[in-house]
Structure 1
Amino acid sequence: MKTQALLCTVMVAGLHAPALEVPLTVQEAFGVPRRAAPVSSGICFPRGVLRTNQLFSLWAGDREVPLQVSPLVIQPDGSLRWALLDFQVDLGAKESRQFVLRTEPPRVQVRQPIQIGQTAEAVTINTGPLRFSVSKTKPFALFERVQVDGRLVAEGGAVEFVEAKTGTRYTAGVPSRVTLEYAGPLRVTLRVDYAYIGSGDCRLVGITRLTAWAGRTDVRLQHILANSNPEQVYHANIQRATLGLRHRLGPQAEARAGAGGVSAPLAEGTRVWLHQGKERRYYNDPIPDAARAGVGDR
């Protein structure tokens, strides 16, 4: 899994014109060439100018670019205040490209839109090369199945944490809800909410978001441990939290972790780990090894 890092700058112009045009600049900031890289940016519109059913198109010079627009904030008068733009772009290392958002109907469609399937048991996302499912009825384990180009690459996993004071292990339970926060032809974000199950008095819940993009095989995973105690008096000390994925790639597979440039073959029993810690103890006290990676047991 990997996350694309692009910078999108937005400037609203022509506020009182009947046809609104918004210049956009997308910059590759990390010196890595990008191909069909996802770009996501919120944009604010003036009050009372656009309706919620407004259609948009995106242009790079005289070429239209497929675009997904998701309303975010609707004013009491029914006007569109904030919207989320999603599109894809090719960029060279450190390259910048200019786009224009226009308030006119799009003429081009996404060539291979994301397909979403839902049953009482699971949600299935198909980006074209990538297909994965998340169970609604089994304990949450990231993915029930993951296929790339028709090949099974992962099946199940583990979502758990260990409480530091007692050493009690808690694992994710059956989701309380599985919802689509964004669902369009170019980008899908699936939110999974669940409680942790264990023998102690844990009151933490988990919130995991899985984002996938049309035509791509990578998935962005955002994971939150949340305190669900309404009295706000329960303090949890976490010894470690784990997101595990059981791959089906065979003994020749290799894992690569960006922090520290760590890589290792995924032979049976091999563990590749990432560590996320506090960046600073106090405002002026940085922790240089907050983000680490390694092979084997920590």
Structure 2
Amino acid sequence: MLRSASGLLLAACAAAQSLDLPLTVEEPVGVPREGEPVTFGVPLPKGLLRDVKTLRLLGPDGRALPAVFSAVNHWPGDAERSIQWVHCDFLASVPAGGRVTYRLVSSPAPAPPFPGLDVEASAEAVRVRTAGLEFTVNRAGALLAAPGLGDADMLLRSDERIYRLSRDPRSQLSVEQKTPSKIVIKRTGSHVWVNGEDKALDSVARFTVYAGRPEIHLTYSFINRQGQRMSDFVRLDGLWLQARLSAASPPTRVEQLSAEPRREGWFEAGGVGFGLKWFWQLYPKAFESRADGIVRLELFPETARPQNIYAGVAKTHEILLSFGGGRLAARLDHPLYAVAPPKWYTRDTRALGRLVESSAEAIRPGYWPLVRAYDDWLAASRDAVLAKRSRGFTFQGRRYDEYGMLNFGDAMHKLVADDRRPDYGIHWETEYYDFPHALFLHFFRTGDMTSFRMGVEAAAHLADVDISHYEVVPGRDGAPRTGPGLNHWTRYSNGEFISSTSWAFYKNEGLFDRYLLTGDLWSRDVARLSSDFGVSYDGLDIHSNTRSIGHGLFAMLKAWEVFGDRKYLDRANWIIDCVQAWQDGDASRLRDLGSRAVWSERFRGGYSDQSWMYGIALEAMAQASLMLQRPEMPGYMRRATDWIFANPREWDAERRLFRNAPVHAVMLTPGLAYIAETSGEREYWDVARESFERQTREARVTDRLKLFAQLFRNSQRFPWYLSVEAPQDMIKSQR
């Protein structure tokens, strides 16, 4: 049986006195790392800690290391406000191709300090000093002044005009984070023309420096928040970081105008190292050092074909400036991650709900071969999606791949070559069904670092391109792009420049995953923007997009959990109230709730006639039922499922198959299992188990990003019901 709440609390108290969590750091590309900054996040069991004062990080020799811990969030609904996720900053050293184990412990012993890190801040400038480095970030004028590097600025060329960040009189500057381990300086503003008024794109720039490291990590995002129509755009003819070198440097120019050849994004000039993450993956890119001392790191070279940046589109680049020598390309493209064992993310902390690690210890013996086969199917499909990137495709006689500044992390969905049609062009998957979250779930369950790193890439695309940062209709900033997206940002059916008008394409859990695991602040910001969209906009479209139930609930529950704001919890309850009113046929209550849903008698008790979409809705309802403890919810879930089974158009009782898209039957398995658990009725369990076994046995590998997310975003929660964690008396046929 499941352990009681009091039992969990006692276990947590005991664990607090003996916390000893191994954290593995693996070097993936054969480059030795010495003192490389790492930020990692791990969950903690409910009731374990209320503050981080006693947390310590031990090195391989068992000695405490300089490390700074910060509480990310607290367990929702916990009166003791115990910490759910914690972030840690430290400096890792790992031999080439090696693996090092650090340990997270609770201890009253003091930890050694970091080297000195001083900051002087005013409204106009922030000056930072640490060993081997002193630099200044300015609110106006030159963006950055650093050793050997002056007059640094970000320049944008559009329609023969040059726009500069340094010209924006309305820019804002602040110290966003200040700890003994690092300083984060945030500068927001716009690229402005010479008249001081006309602007092109907005920007968010974060400068991060670590104690004792002579380097500046610049994360720069541009955002188009202009236009009267969503079809308005800024033509990007060039975009580059420009500065003047103090020391002489031979002239050089390197261009990356396509994915091949795959060049490393690291350059040196005048004693300064310049690095750009994913240099070839995010082509076009270039680097130039001129005889007159000007150096340019070109995020979009002027020699490339112009790119239209449509309303609501953003793009983030990570830049590393080094003032201490050394080649740091591996740190950008293949950063080190400190990760816990899968059991810690899942059973030991329960921070991810009903998710269980994939191991013989966790899964009941009779089901372990089945779960292993399921994981093989998942990994083979993931690898097929990855291989498709380089394989590419041909459209209208031109060769394409799935790389490029606005493509990398996404995948091609389909091609429409008939130019008489409104949907003519290349359609992209737009991280449909939260592809990055499916990858992170696989990492949590298995520790698979390929899924982790691929999840980071996909989440970066989701944050920039697949969520609209600006909408011409007030209250809709943060809306999801439609999926698939024609050229990423227009509706797949008719080519109109419009984001989704429902929650059918809503997804943001992958952004929360990236933030929680790595501390990425841009992912946090966009997750909040997306979640606020769900609060301000009613995208609950039950009858035509039943998945909107699940997508809305996933977003609201995760936002409440991480940000702790009551408005997200209230919105989750509102979604549940609307769905229950729909099932009851209570049109009056729907109107009182302000729902857009227009009820139809034929759906009484159910959701719609889209059985495969019930999988998303039921999984979210199960998670909500467990989190919110609303006793009526399981009964409503059962009624919805009974509607499917009573409908011969949806359910083939003789063949025991779902007629509507049977390939998606595996999506329903965790929801059906929860209904079996709460109702005690075996029939729901039998359908869930048979569906999971059938599709795992068939193991039809897919290279489509969208189908991968459909198959594996929901179903990775079903193995919990095959595990030693599941209630013994729920399923009489446990093997």
Please indicate the TM-score interval, normalised by the length of the shorter structure.
0.7 to 0.9
What is the deviation of 1:104? 2.4
Higher relative CO (Cα under 8 Å, sequence separation at least 6) belongs to 1
In the superposition, relative to structure 1, how do residues 135 and 238 fare at CA in structure 2: closer, same or farther (>3 Å)?
Answer: same
Letter in 2 for 1:247: L
Q: Does 1:168 align with 2:168?
A: no
Corresponding residue number in structure 1 for 2:626: none
Map 1:265-280 onto structure 2 (within 5 A).
267-268=291-292, 271=295, 273-275=297-299
What is the rounded CA distance, in whole Å, between the counterparts of 2:272 and 2:187 in structure 1? 26
Report if the CA contact (8 A) 2:201-2:224 is conserved.
yes
1:263 Cα deviation from its structure 2 partner? 8.9
Q: Secondary structure at the match of 2:45?
A: coil
Q: Residue 283 of structure 1: CA displacement?
A: 7.9
Name which one, 1 or 2, has greater alpha-carbon Rg: 2
CA apart distance, 1:112: 1.4
Q: CA deviation at 1:272?
A: 5.4
- Worse-matched range after superposition: 206-215 or 72-81: 72-81
TM-aligned CA distance change 1:168 to 1:274, over 3 Å: closer
Alpha-carbon separation, structure 1, partners of 2:298 and 2:287 = 11
Distance 1:247 1:110 in 2: 34
Q: Aligned equivalents of 1:35 and 1:134: distance in 2?
A: 27
Q: Partner residue of 1:5?
A: none
Distance 1:266 1:103, change over 3 A: farther
Aligned residues: 267
Quote the residue 1:150 is aligned against: none
1:158 equivalent among 150, 153, 158: 153
Q: For the residues of structure 1 that align with 2:50 and 2:36, how far apart are their CA atoms?
A: 29
SS at match of 1:64: coil
Query: Which of the pair is proportionally richer in helix?
Result: 2
Inter-CA distance 271–111: structure 2 relative to 1 (3 Å threshold): closer
Deviation at 1:81, TM superposition (A): 1.8
Contact 2:241/2:298 (8 A) holds in 1: no
- Displacement of 1:44 in angstroms is 1.8
Change (3 A) 1:246 1:94: same
- Structure number with higher strand proportion: 1
Name 2:213's counterpart in structure 1.
216
1:187 match: 182
Which residue in 2 is equivalent to 1:45? 44
> What is residue 293 of structure 1 aligned with on the other side?
none
State TM-score, norm by structure 1: 0.75
> In the TM superposition, what is the alpha-carbon distance from 1:46 to its structure 2 partner?
2.7
Q: Using the alignment, how far apart are the partners of 1:81 and 1:37 within structure 2?
A: 26
Selected match of 1:225 from 197, 222, 233: 222
Q: Distance in 2 between matches of 1:116 and 1:250?
A: 30
What letter corresponds to residue 28 of structure 1 in structure 2? E
Gapped regions of structure 2 (runs ≥ 5)? 1-10, 251-269, 281-285, 305-314, 316-388, 394-399, 406-735
Mark the runs of 5 or more structure 1 residues left unpaired by the alignment: 1-13, 148-152, 291-298
Question: Are the counterparts in 2 of residues 255 and 263 from structure 1 also a CA contact under 8 Å?
Answer: no
How far the C-alpha of 1:41 sits from its partner, in A, is 1.0
Q: 1:118 aligns with which of 95, 100, 121?
A: 121
**2:237 maps to which of 236, 239, 242:** 239
**Displacement after TM superposition at 1:133 (Å):** 0.8
SS of residue matched to 1:18: helix
1:74 aligns with 2:71: no
1:89 to 92, 100, 103: 92
Q: TM-score, normalised by structure 2?
A: 0.33
Supply the distance in 2 between the matched residues of 1:248 and 1:29 (Cα, whole angstroms): 36
CA distance in 1 between partners of 2:73 and 2:223 (Å): 25
Once residues 93 and 201 of structure 1 are traced to their aligned partners in structure 2, the CA distance between those partners, rounded to angstroms, is 50
The root-mean-square deviation of aligned C-alpha atoms, in Å, is 3.5
Residue identity in the other structure for 2:119: I
Query: Do the aligned partners of residues 242 and 52 (structure 1) sit closer, same or farther apart at CA in structure 2, a change above 3 Å counting?
Result: same
Aligned CA distance change for structure 1 residues 190 and 232 (closer, same or farther; 3 Å): farther
Contact map agreement 1:71 1:83 (CA 8 A) in 2 = yes
Partner Cα distance (1:27, 1:120) in 2: 41
CA drift at 1:107: 1.6
Amino acid at match of 1:154: L
2:401 counterpart of 1:286: yes
Counterpart of 1:146 in structure 2 is 146
